[in-house]
Amino acid sequence: MEQFFARIFRPFDRAFKWFRGLHLVERGYRLMDNKLYKYITFGAILLIMALLPLFSNDYTLRVMWNAMFYMLLALGLNVIVGYCGLCDLGFAAKFAVGAYTTGILIKSFDCNFWLTLPVAALVSIAAAIAIGAPTLKLRSDYLAIVTLGFAEIVRITMRNWNMAGGATGLVGIPRPSLFGLHLTKISHWYYVFLGLVILFIIVSNRIRHSRFGRALAYIREDEDAAQAMGVNVTKYKLYAYIIGAVMGGVTGSFYAVQMGAIAPGSFDFTQSVNILLAVILGGMGKIPGVLIGAAFFAIFPELFRDIPVIGDMRMLFFGILLVIVMITRPQGLWPERTKQR
């Protein structure tokens, strides 16, 4: 039996070895070492993204908006998982806190959307402290179980809270205006989320290259050694948890007004797994990798939607491709650069 399966997977194994032999990521790192190439590449990508609504239909913009939505959530989770090395299986709860805070303030108290953003951030901070302060001394599987339980508590609470709309959620959330422009078209939201992605990238990059980011990296690599060197592990883990929660809460606020309706089913365990999958698939701790992972997760299944036979089984092919990627790139599509001796 083993010889039978070995013969079947031998061509795939040869293809994997050939792909690894290309060293595409390593060549990309060497190319990006040149600042001129780096700025030209980033500028070209930004220019293409800015001009995309001019020659694309609403369906394409909707898919790209969905990709940027997952990019925002993945960047927030990357601070917790990628930078600090914590295992968070309940990031959908942080996303839900911001969405429901904005939705309740707009529907029940007739607040302006832009004024709800700082409130959503404060509520996200309070939620992060409430769950993080007593539990961040836990590690690995124990912390994952606690975060998963917190996500379920938030989802069930919103499902049984009348002000939050109960099981049906909040419907008819009005869309806001920006500089006199009423944000009703998908092209409007495309540019709003593109600006948010750029803002989150700048924030993530500043964190990564700061003293705070270096402390998180020490904790991720060896928590005991970091504590022995004088790093306040619990404090820095709580800060990372708060920053990730704020980024997720702000994303949830924009999601609520863009969709116009939110329901508890949008914040279940599957959503948390999808966000974590985008981070792991792209490469934990690496900003371009996280963006690529989120884009891959959101865009690839849509490429096969209109194909007659494959369209119904596109998620099967997506799962097979995920397995292939994890075999060929176990550290992600664009992981942290390997240190050369």
Phi, psi of 245 (to 5 degrees): -65, -40
Residue 323 confidence (pLDDT)? 77
In a domain, 249, yes or no: yes
Residues 101 and 161: their CA atoms lie apart, in Å, by 13
pLDDT grade for 247, boundaries at 50, 70 and 90: very high
- Asked if pLDDT for residue 339 goes beyond 50, the answer is no
Residues 39 and 17: their CA atoms lie apart, in Å, by 32
Residue 341 confidence (pLDDT)? 40
In a domain, 36, yes or no: no
In a domain, 338, yes or no: no
In a domain, 108, yes or no: yes
In a domain, 125, yes or no: yes
Per residue in 60-112, pLDDT (tens digit) is 999 999 999 999 999 999 999 999 888 888 899 989 999 999 999 999 888 99
Give Cβ neighbours of residue 204 (< 8 Å, ≥ 6 apart). Answer: 75, 78, 79, 287
* Residue pair 92/268 in contact by the 8 Å Cβ criterion: yes
Residue showing tokens 């700061």: 210
Residues 222 and 200: their CA atoms lie apart, in Å, by 27
In a domain, 263, yes or no: yes
Q: What domain range includes position 195? A: 62-268
Instruction: Compute the average pLDDT of residues 201-210.
Output: 92
pLDDT grade for 200, boundaries at 50, 70 and 90: very high
Residue 10 confidence (pLDDT)? 60
Per residue in 144-165, pLDDT (tens digit) is 888 888 889 999 999 999 888 8
Residue 20 confidence (pLDDT)? 57
The tally of domains found in the chain comes to: 1
Please state, for a pLDDT cut of 70, what percent of the chain lies above it. 87
- Asked if pLDDT for residue 288 goes beyond 70, the answer is yes
In a domain, 149, yes or no: yes
In a domain, 211, yes or no: yes
DSSP state string for 39-53: HHHHHHHHHHHHHGG
Q: What is the dihedral of CA 206, 210, 213, 218, to 10 degrees?
A: 160
